[in-house]
Amino acid sequence: MPRPLLEIQNVTMKFGNLVANDDVSFSVNEGEIVSLIGPNGAGKTTLFNCISGFYKPVSGKIIFDGKDITGKSTHEITLLGLTRTFQIVKPLKEMTVKENVLTGAFLHAKNKKEAEQIAQKVLQTTHLWEKKDMLAGSLTIADKKRLEIARMLATRPRMMMLDEAMAGLNRTEVKEAMELCLMLNRDGITLLIVEHVMEAIMPISNRVVVLSAGKKIAEGSPEQIINNEEVIKAYLGERYYAKSRQANSRI
Ligand SMILES: Nc1ncnc2c1ncn2[C@@H]1O[C@H](COP(=O)(O)OP(=O)(O)OP(=O)(O)O)[C@@H](O)[C@H]1O
Ligand SMILES: [Mg+2]
């Protein structure tokens, strides 16, 4: 039986009268790659903020590895092994790539030497070793997103939540980001991915959860989701039809 690592139970989050997450429930099993998709404003980032301790949901529960983490601080949640990246990348611009990764490594490292060892391994895994002495602010957007992942990876997570890690990347960079996701997953990290780049996440996801206007409207295998009428109407339709129109106009 698959074991749920993260369980979202009836989570509701409101901003004033706006219901950003409306009674959302789903779980992510250990070892899975699950994608969370949906139109702009569907509540994806808000849900990440609730899970990672930036917001306390109005109601509902979030369970990680059997422990209730609802309302816990981001620090406590990171210590338990659950971490996230941000839709708007926030590297410490005036610090080097390596120094950025060290800030993550110090979460568990007992001393500087150990932190350096963790940072080195993470920089090599994420192909940032050559750029370790560059200022984070001078990196390309693709490398900034990669650094964001590296910083989180240095905290030795069991599960990572990626918020639009592929937005703004070109085709080659998207492919590299997909490969990085698969590699992290092979290394035992469970992934929950928010992404609009369908052609990148559909092939790598075990399951897909769809939010629209705060509500979960579907959940299933990538194949079930791309053929789901409600999902096509709420989200995929415009994307796929716009794409096929573009393709047709080129013929
Ligand atoms: N801090 C906030 N205060 C008030 N409203 C907010 C806040 N954060 C998000 N919202 C609103 O909550 C809703 C959900 O926003 P959210 O950012 O979670 O959507 P999203 O699915 O991540 O969208 P996108 O794909 O554009 O990133 C939107 O209507 C948004 O305007
Ligand atoms: Mg968002």
Closest residue by CA, ligand 1 atom 29: 41
**Does any domain span residue 36?**
yes
* CATH code for the domain in which residue 207 is found: 3.40.50.300
C-alpha span between 79 and 202 (Å, rounded): 30
Q: What is the DSSP letter of 2?
A: -
**Does any domain span residue 136?**
no
> For strand 67-68 and strand 59-64, is the pairing parallel, antiparallel, or unpaired?
antiparallel
Residues 6+ away with beta carbon under 8 Å from 147: 89, 91, 97, 100, 101, 126, 128, 136, 139
**Does any domain span residue 123?**
no
Pocket lining: 20 vs ligand 1, CB cutoff 6 Å: yes
Quick check: 245 pLDDT over 60?
A: no
Quick check: 243 pLDDT over 70?
A: no
**Does any domain span residue 37?**
yes
pLDDT in tens, 61-81: 999 999 999 999 999 999 999
- Band the pLDDT of 239: cuts 50, 70, 90: low
Ligand 1 pocket: which of 36, 44, 210, 211 to mutate (most atoms <8 Å of CB)?
44
Pocket lining: 197 vs ligand 1, CB cutoff 6 Å: no
**Does any domain span residue 114?**
no
**Does any domain span residue 119?**
no
- Provide the pLDDT for residue 1: 73
**Does any domain span residue 171?**
yes
Instruction: Please state the rounded mean pLDDT for residues 18-23.
Output: 98
**pTM strictly above 0.85:** yes
Beta strands in 173-241 (DSSP E): 190-194, 207-212, 215-220
**Does any domain span residue 186?**
yes
Number of structural domains found in the chain? 1
Print the domain residue range for 218. 4-91+158-250
Residues 6+ away with beta carbon under 8 Å from 208: 34, 35, 36, 37, 201, 202, 218, 219, 220, 221, 222, 225
Question: Cα of 120 to ligand 2 centre, how many Å?
Answer: 31
